[in-house]
Amino acid sequence: AQSVAQPEDQVNVAEGNPLTVKCTYSVSGNPYLFWYVQYPNRGLQFLLKYITGDNLVKGSYGFEAEFNKSQTSFHLKKPSALVSDSALYFCAVREQGGYGQNFVFGPGTRLSVLP
């Protein structure tokens, strides 16, 4: 069975500081991993994905994520946080070769960037 954990319900960071939002996953085989952001009263917006290859993937709005197979982690990072980055962030996993297109989403982490 697939699962995703986001160990922090809330992350607070000062504007201009680096941010990290953590994600760990569990799948039987190899994963496809995704990060999404959700702003108030909006749907989830795709940020970036890991399929294969380079462990550091870059995405929208200056975000990047590092895939670590040995630690089964896919942490989201940004070198310098903006107040406008404040939102709810979701990690999702799908097992490669699995049936259908179903994702498993983590519970979400609320990021607050303080001015």
Partner 1 sequence: DAGITQSPRYKITETGRQVTLMCHQTWSHSYMFWYRQDLGHGLRLIYYSAAADITDKGEVPDGYVVSRSKTENFPLTLESATRSQTSVYFCASSDTLSNQPQHFGDGTRLSIL
Instruction: Kindly list the residues in this chain that would bind partner 1 in the complex (CB under 8 A).
Output: 32, 34, 36, 41-46, 49, 51, 90, 94, 96-98, 100-103, 105-108
Quote the CA–CA distance of 23 and 19 in Å, as a whole number.
Answer: 13
Cβ atoms 91, 105 nearer than 8 A = yes
Least distance from partner 1 to the Cβ atom of residue 98, Å = 7
**Least separation in angstroms between CB 20 and partner 1:** 20
| 63 vs 81, beta carbon nearer partner 1 | 63
Nearer to partner 1, 55 or 96 (CB): 96
User: CB of residue 38 vs partner 1: minimum separation in angstroms?
Assistant: 9
- Residue by residue, what is the 3-state secondary structure of 31-70? EEEEEEEECCCCCEEEEEEECCCCCEEECHHHCEEEEECC
What 3-state DSSP class applies to 24? strand
Considering the complex, state which of residue 75 and residue 94 has its C-beta at the smaller distance from partner 1: 94
Identify whether the C-beta of residue 50 lies closer than 8 Å to the C-beta of residue 63. Answer: no
Whole-number minimum distance, CB 29 to partner 1, in Å?
12
